[in-house]
Amino acid sequence: MIKPLLVQTGRYFIALTFLVALSNKASAQTDADAIMIPKNYLCTGAMYSHSDWDHYWEGDFKRTNGNLGHVSSQMVGLMANYGVSDKFNILVNLPYVATHASAGTLAGQNGLQDASLFLKYMPFEIPVGKGVISLYGIAGVSIPMSNYQADFLPMSIGAHSRNTMARFLVDYQLSNFFTTASAEYVYRSNITIDRTAYYTTEEHYTNQVDLPNVMVYNGRMGYRSESWIAEVVAENYTSLGGFDIRKNDMPFPSNKMNWTTLGANFKYTFSKPSGLELTTGGDYVISGRNVGQSTVLHGGIYYLFSIKKQKKEKK
Amino acid sequence: MPVYLDRDMKKNFYYLLPVLAAVVATLSSCNKTIVERNSQFQALSPAKLDLNADTWKPVLLTSVTQFPVATPDAISSPAYQADLNEIKAYQRGITDDQKALIAYWSAGAVLRWNEILRDLVAKHNLPPYQNDDGTYPAPSSANPFAYPQFPFSNPPYAARAYAYVSAVQYDALLAAWHYKNVYNRPAPYKNDATIQALVPKSDLPSYPSEDAVVSGSAVEMLKLLFPTEIAYIEQKEADQKLYRMIAGANTRAEWDAGEALGKQVAGVFAARARTDGTGAAIGTPAYWHSLENNTAATGETPWISLEYPKRPPMLPLFGKVLPFLFPAATVPTLRPSPPPSTNSDQFKKETAEVLSYSKNPTRDNEAIVAFWADGAGTYAPPGHWDAIAAEEFVKQNYSEVRWARNMALLNMAEMDAAIVCWDAKYFYFNPRPSQTDGAIKTLTGIPNFPSYTSGHSNFSGAAATLLTYLLPDRGTKFTDMAQQAAMSRLYGAIHYRSDCEVGLVTGKAVGNYAVQRAKTDGADQ
């Protein structure tokens, strides 16, 4: 019922968008944007996000639950992005998540969630008219970093699957305005739960759960300059399978979790001290299925620097 | 995605190798096929035919001849030959789907119907959603399709359903064994060499069909217990009937005779079920209030629902339901002595212990809690014990009638454990730990009924006692499991230690009634 946080992590990463003024090669921060950092640069930082919902969907049925009240999750993420080349970045992220329900008796959960690693490659930049189209291929994996309980929704901190992701992304920039569209396929491994039998639409006698794979579509547009990025983001997350939560049943990791969010992000890059960046933003679930109607707010602080000092002047 | 290495990347290629290896390793585990345990059960090939089962003690039947079964058509008759030709036609055109039916059903009729029932329990084990005014609708057997559908197969209801279905199958099979011995009709594949046996061959007479008896009695019972599922269960019955004919194990007439016998025996059990007190077990608002007031009058803190909005207590009069293994008058004699007073130091100590389990959950404890939770949307604790038992019984190569006898003993014990436990719960009406101390957060859903004693502990104590008797070579396996199941409720912070420990003792006492019956029912002599 909480959105699988790996994907949220991807969204939180949006907050990490920051920019180094390098013509149209801005610094990269997420697996879902068109921003790269240059060769031999490293960007590290920390972000915090807060998610909260009180309405959620059981299938199509939207409701609240007096035994949950508001379900919130907080995340602290550490990230790093390294410019292997101007066209090839590596991003890693390590989130810690804690959940809480404001009503009822269910205990909150917390722990290290899933570490992710993305390879981000921009093979082509093509001038089109006065603007530039760039194409990206992004591949990633995520792996649970602790033995947290996936089968305790909505309090679980994640789905505990090993995920493999592939994203294709197109960006068009004209002057300081940009539009980015991407599609991502997420392959999710089976998970092992503590129960040896469970009911979906029939009883299963196994501790293995087949999580549906996922398609994610992301569109964003806005303004980027040397000191500012401001963007609006729409995202759709669609489970390729899974089943609906029945009325008044408990959620389950292999539910068909779908949602569409709208959000906005801002980033400010200081000229002094150079390399310091602050981000903030948020989003809201405008429609969903078997998920909470989350409102997410996030903020982050990052530092971008060259790890080869002799080259810094060239930049 | 094509990857073109530029010069910079080549330099860094060796750094990337571990990354690429990780990606490949993840992708290579792409096979998501899951093999479920119950798909691995082999075709049942009983070690013993238990031909004397017609001398075993029935549960409700007055005699194994209570219902007649007509003499079968002679083997030389055109009717029988026509039935054999039907089998031959099926076997000639057998499809993959039909082979799958054989693989599924040949594991055993009692086993598969028990699984079907577990499915139905899980499907219907959902507490009703509240009305707009904060009250709750109750399922109605008179209008079963209206929300909330009838039934809400909560643990007591589930225990009762498993008991009736298992017991009716047992009685019906005793009658079937009688007529099998009387008519001594060999299986179709023994009467006609051109009919293949697609199941292990057996010397058990095939008229009336034991599968049909199991199916017919279960279907008729389930019409009462799960009235919204008639189409589903009749489809299962049709599948099973087809399987028996395709497999060369029964003719149509053998099936029909068995099905008719099963349905007649089910009439006896259905009549008992209609008057066993379950229909009134939900109580009335006045009764719910009296429970609270009576306990408050003793100076003890009464239970209150921890749900929002507050939900009426689950089946408060289930303790008055008619048991199978002993008279109703025995129920109060099995009631445990009172829990620690809610004003006592002992109670405070036990509450503090629950709080410490709530505050310091280990991952191992979380796993134990989840394994035994068996809450909403599951087959409930008696279903869990049925699953445990079934996975042991498949190793034993029991005859169908012994399968039914052992499942009946187990599930009558589970139902009676529910009755005795519910009697104690509503007699003492003791608060849950989270009511006593709001700081106690739970590692599983908190059940909506009083605390003392733990239902899981009663179910588990009863089941383990009976299973240990039936399968002594398993040593302490079942009692160890029961101990863990009981303690899981303390680890989950939804029960005090007393609830669990005393519940196990009471459950064991109920289980001993099942053992006593087992020792004298004729099956173990």
Rounded Cα gap, residues B195 and B188, in angstroms:
7
pLDDT for the residue B30: 64
- The residue of A203, A245, A290 whose CB has the most chain B CBs within 10 angstroms, and thus the best one to mutate to test that interface, is A203
Under a CB-based contact definition with an 8 Å cutoff, are residues A108 and A99 in contact?
yes
Cβ partners under 8 Å of residue B263, min gap 6:
B216, B217, B219, B220
Distances in whole angstroms, Cα of residue B46 to Cα of each of B107, B402, B403: 11, 10, 10
Under a CB-based contact definition with an 8 Å cutoff, are residues A42 and A60 in contact?
no
Q: Radius of gyration of chain A from Cα atoms?
A: 20
Residue linked to tokens 């199978």 = B324
Q: Using one digit for the tens of pLDDT, what is the confidence trace for B97-129?
A: 999 999 999 999 999 999 999 999 999 999 999
Q: Using one digit for the tens of pLDDT, what is the confidence trace for B204-256?
A: 999 999 999 999 999 999 999 999 999 999 999 999 999 999 999 999 999 99
Rounded Cα gap, residues A233 and A218, in angstroms:
7
Distances in whole angstroms, Cα of residue A202 to Cα of each of A289, A291, B31, B121: 20, 21, 22, 11
Chain B CB contacts of A117 below 8 Å = 19, 22
Q: Which of residues 229-268 of A touch B (CB under 8 A)?
A: 246-250
Cβ partners under 8 Å of residue B357, min gap 6:
B365, B490, B491, B492, B493
Output the tens digit of pLDDT for each of chain A's 315 residues. 333 322 333 333 322 222 222 222 222 367 888 888 999 999 999 999 999 999 999 999 999 999 999 999 999 999 999 999 999 999 999 999 999 999 999 999 999 999 999 999 999 999 999 999 999 999 999 999 999 999 999 999 999 999 999 999 999 999 999 999 999 999 999 999 999 999 999 999 999 999 999 999 999 999 999 899 999 999 999 999 999 999 999 999 999 999 999 999 999 999 989 999 999 999 999 999 999 999 999 999 999 999 986 544 443
Rounded Cα gap, residues B346 and B392, in angstroms:
40
Q: Which of B22, B122, B358 lies nearest to residue A203, judging by beta carbons?
A: B122
If you count residue pairs, one on A and one on B, with CB atoms under 8 Å apart, how many are there?
Answer: 140
Q: Using one digit for the tens of pLDDT, what is the confidence trace for B154-171?
A: 999 999 999 999 999 999
Closest among B49, B342, B23 to B186, alpha carbons compared = B49
Under a CB-based contact definition with an 8 Å cutoff, are residues B518 and B462 in contact?
no
Q: Which residue has the higher pLDDT, B18 or A140?
A: A140
Residue of chain B whose alpha carbon sits nearest to that of A143: B26
Distances in whole angstroms, Cα of residue B418 to Cα of each of A59, A238, B424, B425: 33, 43, 10, 10
Q: Using one digit for the tens of pLDDT, what is the confidence trace for B315-341?
A: 999 999 999 999 999 999 999 999 999
Contact B377 A199 (CB under 8 A): yes
pLDDT for the residue A34: 85
Rounded Cα gap, residues A130 and A63, in angstroms:
49
Rounded Cα gap, residues A306 and B234, in angstroms:
72
Give the ipTM of the model, two decimals please: 0.94
Closest among B294, B287, B337, B290 to B317, alpha carbons compared = B287
Contact A195 B29 (CB under 8 A): no
Residue of chain A whose alpha carbon sits nearest to that of B371: A195
Under a CB-based contact definition with an 8 Å cutoff, are residues B290 and B297 in contact?
no
* Main-chain dihedrals φ then ψ at residue B107, nearest 5 degrees: -65, -20
Alpha carbon A219 to its chain's center? 14
The per-residue DSSP string of B203-269 comes to -S--SS-HHHHHHHHHHHHHHHH-GGGHHHHHHHHHHHHHHHHHTTS--HHHHHHHHHHHHHHHHHH
Contact A203 B118 (CB under 8 A): yes
Distances in whole angstroms, Cα of residue B338 to Cα of each of A112, B256, B287, B384, B498: 44, 53, 21, 29, 10
- The residue of B39, B123, B153 whose CB has the most chain A CBs within 10 angstroms, and thus the best one to mutate to test that interface, is B123
- DSSP conformational letter for A248: T
Under a CB-based contact definition with an 8 Å cutoff, are residues A16 and A30 in contact?
yes
Chain B CB contacts of A206 below 8 Å = 34-37
The total of other beta-carbon atoms located within 10 Å of residue B344's CB is 11
Q: Which residue has the higher pLDDT, A112 or B1?
A: A112
- Of the CA atoms within 13 Å of residue B184, those in its CB half-sphere come to 2
Under a CB-based contact definition with an 8 Å cutoff, are residues B504 and B483 in contact?
yes
For helices B109-124 and B230-246, what crossing angle results, to 10°?
160
Q: Using one digit for the tens of pLDDT, what is the confidence trace for B340-378?
A: 999 999 999 999 999 999 999 999 999 999 999 999 999
pLDDT for the residue B16: 54
Under a CB-based contact definition with an 8 Å cutoff, are residues B340 and B498 in contact?
yes
Contact B8 A250 (CB under 8 A): no
Contact A123 B2 (CB under 8 A): yes
Q: Using one digit for the tens of pLDDT, what is the confidence trace for B187-203?
A: 999 999 999 999 999 99
Residue of chain A whose alpha carbon sits nearest to that of B29: A189
Q: What angle do CA B73, B207, B104 make, to 5 degrees?
A: 130
pLDDT category at B26 given cuts 50, 70, 90 is: low
- Mean pLDDT of the residues in chain B: 95
Query: Taking the alpha carbons of A247, A251, A254, A260 in that order, is the dihedral positive or negative?
Result: positive
Residue linked to tokens 């009883």 = A203
Q: Which two tokens stand for residue B244?
A: 């028996």
Closest among B257, B369, B231, B12 to A119, alpha carbons compared = B12
Q: Which residues pair with A304 in a beta bridge?
A: A43
Rounded Cα gap, residues A30 and A15, in angstroms:
8
